[in-house]
Amino acid sequence: MVTLKGGDRLAAALAEISKNVSKASSVDVGFLEGSTYPDGTNTAMVAAIQEFGAPKAGIPPRPFFRTMIEEKSPEWGDAVGALLINNDYDAARTLGQTGAAIKGQLQQSIIDTYNPPLSQVTLMLRKMRAEDPDLVVTGKTVGEAARRVKAGESTEGVSTKPLVDSGHLLQSVDFEVKS
């Protein structure tokens, strides 16, 4: 622990700390601008649909992002404070480490999300895409999947895990330190 006496020493110490702290001001964590699926679909839009749902399309909310924030954010302040001290008040380094940690927490939240379960039609679409990797999902293919489900066709062997069909959403989580 450092003990400072006198106003001049305190002012000098604070000025030295402020040089490092001013190097970076924030960190963004999530689905950053420019992230898209191979077909050009915006990753943040897909994440928002999964997070909040799309009732007209029959997609229920799967709040992986809000859940992570609710569970993990209470510990962020103390962690950032400790990292600042350990990094000699280097804000850029601290925010980089913080961003990496929160990125990992968000990815884990995606992995841990199992509810609500996928619909039988979604599972059938996964099966159909496994059989034909070039299949484009359209209203017609959704109708075909619904017909197959109604006819009793099995989806055995198809992953029932929400949010990780292609792995793209999970792999697209990123962070960026800003000055």
Smallest CA-to-CA distance from 32 within 50, 40, 44 is with 44
In 3-state terms, what secondary structure has residue 12?
helix
In the predicted model, is pLDDT for residue 33 greater than 80? yes
Beta-carbon contacts of 130 under 8 Å, excluding residues fewer than 6 positions away, are 158
Instruction: Give domain limits for the chain.
Output: 13-117+162-178, 119-159
Mean pLDDT value across residues 33-40: 93
Mean pLDDT value across residues 22-45: 90
The secondary element (H helix, E strand) that includes residue 177 is strand 174-178
pLDDT band for 23, please (50, 70, 90 cuts).
Answer: low
Smallest CA-to-CA distance from 97 within 113, 85, 109 is with 85
In 3-state terms, what secondary structure has residue 175?
strand
Other beta carbons within 10 Å of 104: 13
In the predicted model, is pLDDT for residue 128 greater than 60? yes
Mean pLDDT value across residues 99-124: 96
The radius of gyration of the chain from alpha carbons, rounded to an integer in Å, stands at 23
Q: How far apart are CA 68 and CA 83, in angstroms?
A: 21
Cβ(176)–Cβ(148) below 8 Å: no
In the predicted model, is pLDDT for residue 21 greater than 70? no
Mean pLDDT value across residues 59-69: 96
pLDDT band for 20, please (50, 70, 90 cuts).
Answer: low
